[in-house]
């Protein structure tokens, strides 16, 4: 949560008067699928990372040890690797925003 709030604050700092975090949140919602900026791409990668991670966690809680047996193991490992790739992509794009 601190990373999300500071990112929203940085995004909304130059968007006018008011609370920068709120301005950043409103800006991100309005421009969610507008892929003309690296911030939008970073947000999409980060949300995809969270979605895959929460999905894997829920699957593991629900299926317990059966999640790692048979074909489920291959899918679970594939989702894990995909989540790692998404996290790396979000970090790379996020780093390019703040470290030009």
> pLDDT tens across 58-70, in order?
999 998 888 888 8
Is the pTM above the cut of 0.85?
Answer: no
| Count of alpha carbons within 13 angstroms of residue 57, beta-carbon side | 7
Of 88, 9, 7, 86, the closest CA to residue 45 belongs to 86
Segment 4-44, tens digit of pLDDT = 777 777 777 888 888 888 888 888 888 877 777 888 888 89
Closest C-alpha among 45, 2, 22, 91 to residue 11: 22
């Amino acid at each position: 949560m601190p990373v999300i709030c500071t990112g929203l604050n940085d995004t909304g700092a130059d968007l006018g008067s008011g609370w920068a975090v709120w301005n950043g949140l409103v800006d991100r919602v309005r421009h969610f699928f507008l892929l003309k900026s690296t911030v939008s791409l970073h947000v999409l990668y980060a949300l995809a990372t969270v979605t895959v991670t929460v999905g894997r966690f829920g699957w593991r809680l629900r299926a317990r040890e059966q999640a790692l047996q048979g074909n489920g193991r291959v899918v679970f490992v594939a989702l894990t690797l995909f989540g790692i790739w998404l996290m790396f992509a979000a970090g790379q794009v996020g780093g390019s925003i703040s470290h030009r």
